[in-house]
Amino acid sequence: MAAKAVMNKGLHGRLDGPPGASRAMLERRTRWLLIVAVGGANLAGALFVLLFSTFVMPDPPGIADPSHVRLVNLLVFCAYLVFGAPIGVTWGLWLFRPVRTFARHEHDPTEKERRGVLRGPLRLLAMQGTLWGLGAVGWAVIDAPYSSLLALKVGMITALGGVTTCAIVYLLTERLLRPIAAVVMAAGPAQYDAWFGITPRAMLAWALGSAVPVLGSVAAAVAALVVDGMSLTQLAVTILVLGGVALLVGAPVTYIAARAIADPVRSVREGLARVERGDLQASVPVYDASELGRLQAGFNHMAAGLRENERVRDLFGRHVGEDVARHALEHGVVLGGELREAAVFFVDLQGSTHLAATRPPGEVVALLNAYFGVVVEVVARHGGLINKFQGDAALAVFGVPERLEDPAGQALAAARELSRRLRAELPQLIAGIGVSAGQVVAGHIGAEQRLEYTVIGDPVNEAARLSDLAKSAPDRLLASDTVVAAAGPGEAAHWRLGSAVTLRGRTSRTRLAAPFRRPPPSGIDRVIHRLRR
């Protein structure tokens, strides 16, 4: 499916599963990674809370039996782990249910499944916050009979540990669910959801890097003011532990939060670099519904639009020629024409009607395609433009719409090569080629709704008449003396002048020129040839 292709193309890595992995495999991998990551984060947070509240933060005065209270707290802690961990796993798997349902069936996700996947990190955060909140309240209630200050202490420490753990769980869940989220987002766009944007992730990084350590330090300072007999060493140890935990935990978690923002931006930047290099097939995975996901989706829409524009431009160029298409895109399309000096050649098949009557249609089409393929290739190599196809004939122009250094010489060289190749590669076809040059009117004719680029002028008519006459010439190629005279010396030396004739439909006489059937003359012969002309 297209969704799987997008996912596999952009999300390969240690956390994203092997290339080509099925949805079911990704779901199992993601589920177990989440269990390990979330369970580990909660266990580490719980142990920190236990150790910090028991051994680092001093107990308030007035507790009759501190050892008994610590034993009770240890039992409460263990009991909560024994009962709370299974509840958390069961609850988490229940929240993961839409992901499992979606992954087990190869179908596009429903709106409920889509929402379940995309809101998975937020729902897991809410679940973790609920469990930690219940633990903080329950622990405070149990310690309240011993001391209200003790209840406040454990409740506050548990709440701070819960905030840190929940933030870590959210960031890890968002990262681990990316492969599944990419499949969901590739199947169809999702509505913008501000809960997953840059601001919530930045606030989580702030909570871990600043808010929790600062609140812990404030709590330690309050304890130093309230608790009688709290030594400077105890206060220093408390602050050092808080600072050390903030450095050890805050740095990697802030890095994860920063990567959650930087990864989508980097993927778009790399995609833009590919587009800049001309790769319009570039795409990036979309794995959330935030403004970051909208940025990724926007890039994909832009790339799709560029591909569509390139396809239209390619089709436009195939129909009217690349030079005409480029000229129209750069300068616009306006009805009318301009007077230009250009060279043209006209190539026309002889006996195409007989060919169509005596050969199967498929063979005729194949021959015509091969014939026009040679014509297009030769004209393009010499800088010309196929202006139009007319049945089994083609008109090529040189010097319009883009100016050429030697349009006459390039037209003559192209005609000689075309004559040689057609006789060698398609001997069963007889094609006459006529070449002329002079002033033409080049531009767009038609109406605003439908127009075409064309070349009109006496050289076009002369080339068409020469192509008829050339069908009986030795090389099936004739040119007018005007185009040979306009060509550069290097190309003109390949042509010899002949007699003058009156072409059909014309009143003025045209002096014919044909290519030499031997090597071109030497330098002295060229001078004599010029003088004779």
What is the SS3 assignment for 338-370? Answer: EEEEEEEEEEEEECHHHHHHHCCHHHHHHHHHH
Higher pLDDT, 377 or 179: 377
Q: For residue 17, list its beta bridge partners.
A: 13
Average pLDDT over residues 506-519: 82
* Domains of the chain, first to last: 2-291 (no CATH), 335-532 (3.30.70.1230)
* Phi and psi at residue 387, to the nearest 5°: -75, -40
Q: What pLDDT, on a 0 to 100 scale, did the predictor assign at position 12?
A: 38
**Better-predicted residue by pLDDT, 126 or 3:** 126
CA distance 293 to 303: 15
Percent of the chain predicted with pLDDT > 90:
13
Q: How far apart are CA 494 and CA 519, in angstroms?
A: 8
Say if pTM beats, i.e. exceeds, 0.85: no
**Spatial distance between the Cα atoms of 218 and 221, rounded to a whole number of angstroms:** 5
Neighbours of 451 (CB within 10 A): 15
First-residue to last-residue Cα distance in the chain:
71
| Burial group, residue 63, by CB count within 10 angstroms (0-12, 13-18, 19+) | middle
Q: Is residue 123 a contact partner of residue 155, using CB atoms and an 8 Å limit?
A: no
**Cα–Cα distance for residue pair 348/390, rounded to 1 Å:** 9
Choice among 133-137, 291-295, 416-420 with the minimum mean pLDDT: 291-295
Q: Are 511 and 500 in contact (CB under 8 A)?
A: yes
Side-chain-side CA neighbours of 500 within 13 Å: the count stands at 9
Per-residue HEC secondary structure of 189-237 comes to CCCCCHHHCHHHHHHHHHHHHHHHHHHHHHHHHHHHHHCCCCCHHHHHH
Which distant-in-sequence residues (6+ apart) come within 8 Å of 302 by Cβ? none
For residues 436 and 344, is the Cβ–Cβ distance under 8 A? Answer: yes
Strands 495-501 and 385-390 come out as: unpaired
Q: Is the pLDDT of residue 527 over 80?
A: no
The pLDDT assigned to 314 comes to 55
Helices and strands per DSSP (H, E), number in the chain: 20, 8
For residues 395 and 65, the model is more confident at: 395
Residue 27: burial class (beta carbons within 10 Å; 0-12, 13-18, 19+):
buried
Task: Give residue 13's region: left, alpha or beta (phi > 0; psi -120 to 50).
Answer: left
The β-bridge partners of 430 are 350
Predicted confidence at residue 5, as pLDDT, reads 37
Both tokens of 159, joined, read 């709440």
- pLDDT at residue 494, rounded to an integer: 92
Task: Give the confidence band of 107 by pLDDT, cuts at 50, 70, 90.
Answer: low
d(CA 292, CA 295): 5
**Model pLDDT, residue 432:** 92
Q: What would the mean pLDDT of 52-74 be, rounded to a whole number?
A: 74
List of residues 6+ apart from 181 with CB closer than 8 A:
117, 118, 287, 288
Residue 144 has what pLDDT?
83
Q: What local confidence, expressed as pLDDT, does residue 323 receive? A: 52
DSSP SS3 for 479 = strand
Could you give the CA distance from residue 490 to residue 487 in angstroms, rounded to a whole number?
A: 8
Q: What one-character DSSP code corresponds to residue 518?
A: S
**Looking at per-residue confidence, does 147 or 448 come out higher?**
147
Q: What are 52's two structure tokens?
A: 């910090």
Looking at residue 507, its amino acid is: T
Residue 230 has pLDDT above 50, yes or no: yes
Looking at every residue in the chain, the average pLDDT score rounds to: 76
User: Does 433 have pLDDT greater than 50?
Assistant: yes
398 pLDDT tier (thresholds 50, 70, 90): very high
Q: Which residues have C-beta within 8 Å of that of residue 92, sequence separation ≥ 6?
A: 34, 35, 38, 124, 127
Apex 379 CA angle, 375 and 383, nearest 5: 170
The pLDDT of 290-315, averaged and rounded, is 73
Composition of the chain by helix, strand, coil, percent to 5 = 65, 15, 20
CB of 267 closer than 8 Å to CB of 285: yes
Give the three-class secondary structure for 155.
helix
Q: Which amino acid is at 291?
A: E
pLDDT > 90? residue 170:
no
3-state secondary structure of 115: helix
pLDDT band for position 511 (50/70/90)?
very high
pLDDT tens, residue by residue, 2-55: 333 333 343 334 445 555 567 677 777 777 888 888 888 888 778 877 777 776
- Give the residue-averaged pLDDT of 69-82: 79
Report the C-alpha gap between 416 and 476 in whole angstroms.
Answer: 10
